[in-house]
Structure 1
Amino acid sequence: MIGSLVATGRRRKLAAGTKVGVTLAAAAFSAWVIYANLFTISDPLVLGILFVSGVYAIMFVAIGATPGAPDRVPFYDWALSALSLACGVFFFVNATAIADRISLLDPFTPAQFAFGTALMLLTLEATRRSTGMGLTGVVLAFLAYNWFGYLLPPPFGHGVSDFSYLLDILVFTTDGIFGVPVQVVASYVFLFVMFGTFLAKAGGGDFFFNLAALVTGRARGGPAKIAVISSGLYGTMSGSPTSDVVATGSITIPVMKRLGYTPRFAAGVEVAASTGGSAMPPIMGSAAFILAEYTGTAYNEVVLAAIVPALLYYVGVFGQVHLRAVKDDLRPSEDEVPSALETFREGWVFVIPIVGIVWALLSGYSPTFTAGIGVLVMLLASMLTKRTRLTLWQWIEGLGETTLRILPVAGACAAAGLVIGGLSMTGLGMKAANVILVISDAEPLVTLLIAAIVTIVLGLGMPTPSAYILAAVLVGPALAQLGFPILQAHMFLLYFAVLSALTPPIAVAALAAAAIADEDPFRIAFTAVRLAAIGFFLPFAFVWNPALLLLGGPLANVAAVVCGLLATCAVAAAIEGHLGRAVPAWERALLAVAAVAAIAPVPWLAPLGVVAILAVFGRHAMRMRAEAGQAKTMG
């Protein structure tokens, strides 16, 4: 059952001639995206039309209809690809007429009706192939509501909506398929994915892994700590927990198993670490770009607000890994740790593009221009050493691979546009918000709990951007009505959309790790949830205390960071039940309560929490020192 929800079409291994043709077509498409974003001022509707039709044309050739689809491209997929191009040509040629027509008043021509219907159906099939039936089922349910909702009683019913009305909003305006999600993916998300593609192609993934190994490889539980750091570094480039697990987990999980970790724990570490990468600055995942557009917040402000929660998340995961390693006395193998000379001999070039992106963000450049700078600096930096230098064909492959990597995200965001357009047309978003407020009796904490649960449920089996978008339009209005600041509220939803990737029962990131670890994905998912426990706590913390998003004054921000670090360490110790020695149950409960108190924006409560945490830590440190002294005397 779960497998059918997340099963996608099979990525074909194309014959040599077809593969070269698809690579060249995908590379040409990438080159057009660069041109359209950096060198022209494109009409949003035209940009969306050409982007969607181009993506679909490549998708139907590159991805089969079922998980068992053959490598040979059947005639009907060529036909779907051709139909996608035909839709793009029709909408592009008639863009002026479409823009000038008055929505809901001017009737469709037969050609407009036919091509509009075809594009909607192509979107549903593209979504099913690229993301599975989970998101596709959600979209179909919303479409059914939009079409037949007039049959429902108040307050959920709405005015009569025939198919032409639905088609007009969803296809012939920028409120549907060509809405904000596709606009974001067609611009800076695409360019940031291109940056990550060229970074990996030049060997950046190996550099980040070796850098993590250099920092933590010789410590207790070294390989697990390598997984935490390298997955965070890689994840901020990929923006996808699943691809991060596959890319870094194929190395880290076997190494952790050799060290002595159980397959379940090794895979859980990788899943928890990879999931957090989607919320790790400076790039984060595509959902963060959509958040910036939805909230009207500059992307560099989103990045700044995300820094502390992301670091606290990884401190929490790292802390639990460390405590588990100390408890089980797991030590690394020296021959698996690279030297600093080996790491930086040629890997130093990968520091340059990261610095370039950070500089561009801090300088206030737009996300699109920042991504363009990152790609350019990455390509120039790769030419500085022989090992990282890319050939002309590798450049073409990198452009083509960028398009292929964006296919699932583009399909998901186009489908999300169908949902958003329908919600705006029927007013279901506000109705859902009112229902949530009635259920919670407008209590802020209860409303936040409901919002978290709804977001995680929406995210089961679908990409993070889709989960965030649906939560933003369904749950966001309820949080706004209660007066939650827009950035804090949407960051709250973003975090739970990210965490849905590791939350049972589906946990797509755990499914990816299961094949590598040879372990049950449910067991992996529950372990990952335990390791990522601080992630479920953080969104409530930064809504309660905005200084954790660096939204307070300088003194309040510093105090929040310090208290947040102590609270995170306390949560890790409470969960693992170990601080160099076993922690009794009453102290674990005290640490959990003290962690909540420590991040409270209450002048008298936060110091009490800090004192309690330091008292427990100090007690164990003193007892360990005394026991070590006794052992030395006896020895």
Structure 2
Amino acid sequence: MRQLLSSLVETGTRRKLTGKLGTTVKTCAALIAIAVIYTTTVVYIDLFVMTVVFLSAILALLFLMYTAGPNGRLDRPSVMDWLFSVASVVVGIYFFVESGRIAERITLLFPLETPDLVAASVLLALTIEATRRTVGVGLTSVVSVFVLYNLFGHSLPAGLGFREVSYNHFLDIMMFTTDGLFGVPLRVAATYAFLFVLFGTFLSRAGGADFFYNFASSLAGRKVGGPAKISVISSGLYGTMSGSPTSDVVTTGSITIPIMQRLGYSKPLSGSVEVAASTGGSLLPPVMGSAAFIMAEYTGIDYRDIAIAGIVPALLYYLCVYTQIHLRSRKMGLGGLNADEIPKMRTTLSNGGLFIIPLVALSVALILGYSPTYVAAIATLVVLIVSAVKPSTRMSVRDVWDALGETTLRMVAVVAACAAAGLVIGGISMTGLGGKFADLVFLLSGNSTILVLVISAVLAIILGMGMPTPSAFILAAVLVGPTLNSLDFSLMQTNMFILYFAVLSAMTPPVAVAAFAAAAIADAKPLSIAVGAVRLAITAFIVPFAFMYGDGLLLNGSWIDISTACITAGIGVILLSIGIEGFWKDSLTTQARIGFGVSGLLFIFPSTAAIVAGVILFIVSMLMTPHLRFRMKLSS
């Protein structure tokens, strides 16, 4: 009984399929990738048809790849897994064959036929089960609650209740329109997100990941805190392509964490550095992870504008992490790598410098306004071209085939989460819960803008706990977005605010999925790693509030406003880091730490009065630092 309950609640385990079945799965995965490339760049196919076929194909692979629970067989799928996989294919074929009739019918006016109801019910159940196996009980519970709320919410009191919705009505909206399962999240997963993951996979396979690490080593390896700074640079560069903090931790952390520990970093600190660096990758332009694509599709804001707006906040994020690492390393007396462990910059650029070209091409194409789909496809093609220049990086036909399959397999869990998020969005739209949620937030905040922002930030983090970043963002955007949009903020401000806290949920206790991934490598407690990561990246929890009150940090406004906001925020981040670490050339007194920290906050939230107060407090804090007092005593 315990095993049965465990299999119904806990996440499944990914199998490592071998033999003929493993080859078949990889072949199907590569063919799916080819189909996605073809339908997004060469020929147009109706979005509903494309997403239906895409989802059914992914689900068919998913049930073969993941066990039903933690105790499932890892060597081969069970009979139930095969049944679910076949059912996914059959349902996909049904929707594809009937797509013409489905497209012509008028929703809710023409009743669904019995086969429609059966196919839709099966697909709904398969999607929820796929979400449970890959993402876990968190998102699955949210989806299940919303399904039940849509069907039985009319029985609740007036404040939460709504007009009764029949099961047929529910399925019609959720499964036969683009307002539910086949909505924005799944469309993004099948287009933009898939192609950018393809780009990242090709770049990594060609040797780009090794180049990023060697480049970071050449740049920062010999400096104070060299190993940790290498982690920050390499994880940030890789993370902007992977779009998954957890994936980034596993990929780069397996190299950087052991090196940090070997040179004297504690187990929790080494994990915290990697988690903070990897999480920031999902906020770093030009790619910013798949959540930014969903933001573009959901809001209608051009992705180029989102990437440009994200530049300064992301740089402030990494400035905070880098500064704290530098100060902590000096305080602990931790140096850099040995000279023989650091590749020469000339050698690094000679071996892999060509991999800078795809990133430049991607950035330029986005700035010029090309569609994200086109940009990702071109950038991937550029990777193939530049990798062919040197025999050591040249991708063979086998490498290309494996990269195609790997892309699809990496997207499996993301697709399940995006499909589930679509169900939640549809449920909220059908019931009008977004407006009711906004009323509740205003009631709790007493109409105080700052309290509305704080509550919204906390809710965004809670909604995102244990979920992939795309699902975390879209859930927060649908529930919290209407609240912020009703205030005097731009669409860019509100959704960038939500994006930040949705991403930060990956490292925020108590769930902190990225910290759990790092804990397995660092051999430390996940909670200790998560707390340390939040401390290193504390600016990320502050800057969103700053750009809500002045969007110069989002590069909007006059050049004077933008320059002032960026310069003062940069100074503020450094001062705040000094206050947090309690070190600047020497250990600081408690009073000096508080002074530096508060002055940093005043600089981050710029106004004439705040800057003047910040300067005065900074001078007072300087006078309280031990080494400066010693110098003054000598001079007297």
Give the aligned partner of residue 437 of structure 1: 442
Deviations 1:520-567 (A, max 9, x none): 111111111111111111111111120011012111111111111101
Specify whether residues 408 and 627 from structure 1 end up closer, same or farther in structure 2 by C-alpha distance, changes over 3 A only.
Answer: farther
Give the aligned partner of residue 327 of structure 2: 323
Q: AA paired with 2:213?
A: F
Paired residue for 1:547, among 548, 552, 575? 552
Give the aligned partner of residue 70 of structure 2: 67
* Aligned: 1:223 with 2:227: yes
Give the aligned partner of residue 270 of structure 2: 266
Q: AA paired with 1:239?
A: G
Contact 1:5/1:132 (CA < 8 Å) preserved in 2?
no
Task: Name the stretch that deviates more: 340-349 or 82-91.
Answer: 340-349
Paired residue for 2:628, among 623, 628, 631? 623
Specify whether residues 625 and 5 from structure 1 end up closer, same or farther in structure 2 by C-alpha distance, changes over 3 A only.
Answer: farther
Paired residue for 1:390, among 384, 390, 395? 395
Give the aligned partner of residue 538 of structure 2: 533
Normalising to structure 2: TM-score of the pair?
A: 0.96
C-alpha distance in 1, partners of 2:232/2:240?
13
Give the aligned partner of residue 57 of structure 2: 54
Give the aligned partner of residue 36 of structure 2: 33
Paired residue for 1:408, among 391, 413, 431? 413
Contact 2:196/2:376 (CA < 8 Å) preserved in 1?
yes
Per the TM alignment, residue 616 of structure 1 is displaced from its structure 2 partner at its CA by 3.9
Paired residue for 2:594, among 589, 595, 598? 589
Give the aligned partner of residue 211 of structure 1: 215
Q: AA paired with 1:552?
A: G
Give the aligned partner of residue 358 of structure 1: 363
Per the TM alignment, residue 200 of structure 1 is displaced from its structure 2 partner at its CA by 0.9
Contact 2:592/2:622 (CA < 8 Å) preserved in 1?
no
Give the aligned partner of residue 190 of structure 2: 186
Give the aligned partner of residue 256 of structure 1: 260
Deviations 1:258-297 (A, max 9, x none): 1111101111111111111110111111111111112211
The SS at the match of 2:328 is helix
Normalising to structure 1: TM-score of the pair?
A: 0.96
Give the aligned partner of residue 293 of structure 1: 297
Contact 2:595/2:620 (CA < 8 Å) preserved in 1?
no
Considering only aligned residues, what root-mean-square deviation do their CA atoms show, in Å?
2.0
5 Å matches for 1:438-457? 438-457=443-462
Per the TM alignment, residue 594 of structure 1 is displaced from its structure 2 partner at its CA by 1.9
C-alpha distance in 1, partners of 2:567/2:10?
44
Deviations 1:51-90 (A, max 9, x none): 1111111111122222333221222222211111111111
Q: AA paired with 2:425?
A: I
Paired residue for 1:505, among 504, 510, 514? 510
Contact 1:7/1:67 (CA < 8 Å) preserved in 2?
yes
Per the TM alignment, residue 502 of structure 1 is displaced from its structure 2 partner at its CA by 0.6
Contact 2:225/2:335 (CA < 8 Å) preserved in 1?
yes
Give the aligned partner of residue 633 of structure 1: none
Aligned length in residues: 629
Per the TM alignment, residue 127 of structure 1 is displaced from its structure 2 partner at its CA by 0.7
C-alpha distance in 2, partners of 1:521/1:599?
30
- Segments of structure 2 that go 5 or more residues without pairing to the other structure are none
Q: AA paired with 1:321?
A: I
Deviations 1:184-219 (A, max 9, x none): 111111000000001111111111011111111111
Give the aligned partner of residue 426 of structure 1: 431
Deviations 1:485-517 (A, max 9, x none): 111011111110111001111110010011111
Deviations 1:297-337 (A, max 9, x none): 11010000000000000100111111101111111231321
* Aligned: 1:84 with 2:88: yes
Specify whether residues 554 and 477 from structure 1 end up closer, same or farther in structure 2 by C-alpha distance, changes over 3 A only.
Answer: same
Q: AA paired with 1:44?
A: L
Deviations 1:394-450 (A, max 9, x none): 111100000000111110010000000011001011111111111111211000000
* Aligned: 1:21 with 2:24: yes
Q: AA paired with 1:229?
A: I
Contact 2:275/2:507 (CA < 8 Å) preserved in 1?
yes
Specify whether residues 469 and 110 from structure 1 end up closer, same or farther in structure 2 by C-alpha distance, changes over 3 A only.
Answer: same
Give the aligned partner of residue 573 of structure 2: 568
* Aligned: 1:461 with 2:466: yes
Give the aligned partner of residue 12 of structure 1: 15
Paired residue for 1:281, among 267, 285, 293? 285
Per the TM alignment, residue 617 of structure 1 is displaced from its structure 2 partner at its CA by 5.2
Contact 1:6/1:134 (CA < 8 Å) preserved in 2?
no
Specify whether residues 178 and 611 from structure 1 end up closer, same or farther in structure 2 by C-alpha distance, changes over 3 A only.
Answer: same
The SS at the match of 2:542 is helix
Q: AA paired with 2:450?
A: L
Q: AA paired with 1:260?
A: G
Contact 1:30/1:399 (CA < 8 Å) preserved in 2?
yes
C-alpha distance in 2, partners of 1:597/1:4?
51
Q: AA paired with 1:283?
A: V
Per the TM alignment, residue 108 of structure 1 is displaced from its structure 2 partner at its CA by 1.4
Specify whether residues 5 and 282 from structure 1 end up closer, same or farther in structure 2 by C-alpha distance, changes over 3 A only.
Answer: farther
C-alpha distance in 2, partners of 1:230/1:587?
33
Give the aligned partner of residue 233 of structure 1: 237
Contact 1:457/1:500 (CA < 8 Å) preserved in 2?
yes
C-alpha distance in 2, partners of 1:196/1:508?
22
Contact 2:8/2:69 (CA < 8 Å) preserved in 1?
no
Per the TM alignment, residue 590 of structure 1 is displaced from its structure 2 partner at its CA by 2.1
Task: Name the stretch that deviates more: 44-53 or 507-516.
Answer: 44-53
Contact 1:563/1:610 (CA < 8 Å) preserved in 2?
no
C-alpha distance in 2, partners of 1:281/1:584?
38
